[in-house]
């Protein structure tokens, strides 16, 4: 059965593969372009916990600005973080820079899954995906989509995360020696568009016949997920500090760069009251003055929801600590993390 599953899946993928800027046509020989592994790696890092639609414009911008891993390794980290702004999960961007430097130093990406796993920021999934897709190696690639397809295909009913060992073993049993990269991408496409979380389209699924969960009549039940824990609510305050700029008649806003580690690390931001280090920010405003309330914005993180109040002050003083005055007319170029971009939009609207 396992051999027929891979054949059915690859036949379906040959006819239905998504046309994505980081893919080559199914069944084709691997590209001889030396930057091909770079593009695969970049796309896989960007796609972690992020949709294809959201990644496409970021991928295009990155490969246009930094067309090779050597170019990315030589780029100022602030520029990379600014280009990443809005894509979320900012530790990925920090690891991206570290990994690019490591790859450039060694003269290129290693071709084996084991060696890829040694690079900064590459876990089991990313290393396997690059090995299979970029280098044609047989590797067992399991993302959330593959996890769902395989759990249903083999009716693996143990709850996650405990079921992952059995899911990986089952995925390995159907991964072919040849075209492992196409197989992995086909499974991803199948999970994304056919074997979906809700209302799976079993009638048009190429793996409907061998699917055990379909035979049992309850594919949506799998995989069994643990009960979600309530997300805590946090509160904080951001400070919108502006001053006139006599040189051009406009105004400037005070921006800071967050510490390299921790939440939104390395990103440009508005100064705040320390909410990320406390359940509720309790720091004082960086300057004395008549602060105006502009309202608040809400933002969801994976571990908490945040309500961020925004206070404004126009001043002639420069706040203490490191930062920079940024022209308001160019605030869109600052590369603010999404949370602070929301706060800036609220301030600009007010």
Active site amino acids: 44
Q: Which of 173, 139, 136 is nearest to 127 (CA)?
A: 139
| Vertex 94: Cα angle to 138 and 346 (nearest 5) | 125
**Are 68 and 38 spatial neighbours (Cβ–Cβ below 8 Å)?**
yes
Query: How far apart, in whole angstroms, are the C-alpha atoms of residue 143 and residue 136?
Result: 18
SS3 state at 254: strand
Pairing of strands 305-314, 233-245: parallel
Neighbours of 32 (CB within 10 A): 6
What are residue 206's phi and psi, to 5 degrees? -70, -15
Indicate the burial class of 162 (C-beta count within 10 angstroms; 0-12, 13-18, 19 or more). exposed
């Amino acid at each position: 059965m396992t051999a027929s599953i891979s054949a059915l899946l690859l036949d379906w993928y040959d006819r239905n593969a998504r046309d994505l800027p980081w893919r080559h046509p199914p069944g084709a020989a691997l590209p001889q372009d030396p930057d091909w592994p770079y593009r695969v790696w970049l796309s896989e890092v960007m796609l972690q916990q992020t949709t294809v639609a959201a990644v496409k414009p970021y991928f295009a911008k990155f490969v246009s600005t930094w067309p090779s891993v050597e170019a990315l390794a030589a780029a100022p980290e602030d520029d990379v973080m600014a280009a990443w702004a809005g894509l979320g999960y900012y530790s990925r961007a920090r690891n991206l820079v570290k990994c690019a430097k490591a790859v450039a130093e060694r003269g290129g990406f290693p071709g084996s899954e084991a060696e890829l796993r040694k690079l900064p920021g590459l876990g089991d999934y990313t290393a396997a995906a690059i090995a299979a897709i970029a280098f044609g190696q047989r590797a067992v690639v399991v993302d959330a989509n593959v996890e769902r397809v395989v759990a249903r295909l083999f009716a693996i009913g143990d709850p996650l995360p405990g079921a992952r060992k059995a899911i990986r073993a089952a995925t390995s049993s159907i991964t072919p020696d040849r075209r492992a990269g196409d197989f992995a991408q086909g499974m991803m496409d199948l999970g994304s568009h056919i074997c979906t979380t809700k209302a799976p389209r079993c009638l048009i699924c190429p793996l409907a016949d061998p699917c055990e969960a379909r035979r049992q009549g309850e594919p949506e039940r799998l995989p069994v997920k643990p009960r979600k824990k309530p997300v805590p609510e946090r509160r904080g305050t951001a400070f919108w500090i502006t001053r006139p700029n006599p040189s051009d008649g406009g105004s400037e806003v005070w921006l800071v760069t967050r510490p390299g580690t921790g939440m939104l690390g390395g990103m440009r931001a508005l100064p705040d009251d320390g909410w990320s280090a406390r359940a509720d920010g309790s720091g004082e405003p960086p300057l004395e003055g008549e602060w105006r309330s502009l309202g608040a914005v809400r933002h969801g993180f994976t571990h908490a929801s945040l309500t961020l109040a925004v206070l404004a002050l126009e001043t002639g003083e420069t706040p203490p600590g490191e930062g920079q005055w940024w022209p308001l007319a160019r605030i869109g170029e600052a590369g603010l993390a999404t949370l602070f971009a929301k706060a800036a939009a609220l301030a600009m609207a007010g």
